[in-house]
Amino acid sequence: MRPTEPVEHTDVGAYALGVLDAAEAARFEEHLAGCDRCAAELDDLMGLPPLLADAREAAPDPEAVTPVPGPGLLDGLLAEVGAVRRTRRRRRLYLVAAAAVLVAGGPLTTYALTAGDTDETPEHLASYARTMYEHGEKAGTVDPVTKVAASVSMERKPWGTHVALKLGNVKGPLTCDLVAIGKNGAEQTVTTWAVPAGGYGLKDGATKWNKEPLYTHGGAAMNRSTIDRFEVRTLDGRRLAEIKV
């Protein structure tokens, strides 16, 4: 995405991989708050950064010097993801070779992630995050003021802590993040997402999607033993829930 170009739906891939600059990311977040399509795709793609970190750990020669791919290769990569989703093939291929270099910083690695039918349903879009949520140490809360229901599932990793979030009873439109707070007061953003106008996990939701909770996930470079709590916040700093762990 170039400064003079409008925000495009395909920018969700670059945003998830963290390759947008600060201005581009801020502009995309404004777009994200009002775009259910991009919010859904971002939820589906947020699993890539932790996987790429795992790829780096598993690489046979982490000191190898690999040329950084040019923007053309990254554009083609993201176009492949979008094309596969549009055609709703039974099997999806996420080619993340370039992203492995950009995000993990290690040797060139290719991952193929497959899934079932790509119908745009909450069950499909949250399938990976939901699976990650089922495994791990869990903690949760219902905020007494906002009534937002939030719970996390934590899994220890060599690089830190993998965190899956389950969020319900939240209305939009909002753009939020999950922040890990250490016992020493240090903070790290685990993941960022958008809540559409219809919300998530609402008993009176207008659609099945709105009635389902949101599942998303990300990672923190903190060891599990050093994490004191998590906070769900809007990007303007309003706290929606606090989860003590």
- From residue 22, give the alpha-carbon distance in Å to each of 3, 41, 180: 11, 20, 21
Three-state DSSP state, 131: helix
Q: Tell me what pLDDT residue 12 has.
A: 76
Q: Are 154 and 172 within 8 A, CB to CB? A: no
Lowest mean pLDDT among 43-52, 54-63, 213-222: 54-63
* Residue of higher predicted confidence among 86 and 110: 86
pLDDT tens digits for 129-158? 888 899 899 999 999 999 999 999 999 999
Containing H/E element for 25? helix 22-32
pLDDT reading at 172 higher than 90: yes
Q: What is the DSSP string of 149-212?
A: EEEEEEEEETTEEEEEEEEESB-SSEEEEEEEEETTS-EEEEEEEEE-TT-BS-TT-SSHHHHS
Measured in degrees and rounded to the nearest 5, phi and psi for residue 74 equal -65, -40
* Segment 51-99, tens digit of pLDDT: 555 555 555 554 554 455 555 555 555 555 555 444 433 333 333 343 4
pTM score, whole prediction? 0.53
Helix segments in 59-188, DSSP class H: 71-87, 97-99, 122-125, 127-134
Confidence (pLDDT) at 74: 56
Say whether 213 sits in a helix, a strand or coil: coil
Q: Which domains does the chain have, with CATH numbers?
A: 1-119 (1.10.10.1320), 121-245 (2.60.40)
Helices (H) then strands (E): counts for the chain: 9, 8
